[in-house]
Amino acid sequence: MNEEFEMTCFQIITYVGTARTCFINAIQSAKEGNFEEAEELIKQGDEAFSQGHHGHADLIAKDANGELPKEGTMILMHAEDQLMSAEGFRIIAEEFIDLYKKIS
């Protein structure tokens, strides 16, 4: 497997995992009434997610140019799964933050 490809996949997993953690922590902060902290955690999560998304976009461009190895697709599928999971958690976090603001 191409080492650069593998490294990019692991970077995606790392960045979006960090983002997902930030989004989950934002929900917990909002639950405790710490809305400024929750918004800061969303911002931090967005920054980490963006880094992971850029890595994914680079892989898509390389794939379009036929530059990706044919083996190792499981790690890419895992990275994409984590990317989608983090995106879903962001949406849920925003909804929970809004809800906690309304009930407080």
User: How far apart (Å, rounded) are the C-alpha atoms in residues 96 and 104?
Assistant: 12
Is 72 in a helix, a strand, or coil? Answer: coil
State the DSSP string of 20-50.
HHHHHHHHHHHHTT-HHHHHHHHHHHHHHHH
In the residue annotation, 78 being an active-site residue is answered as yes
Catalytic member of 53, 54, 56, 78: 78
Give the active site residues. 78
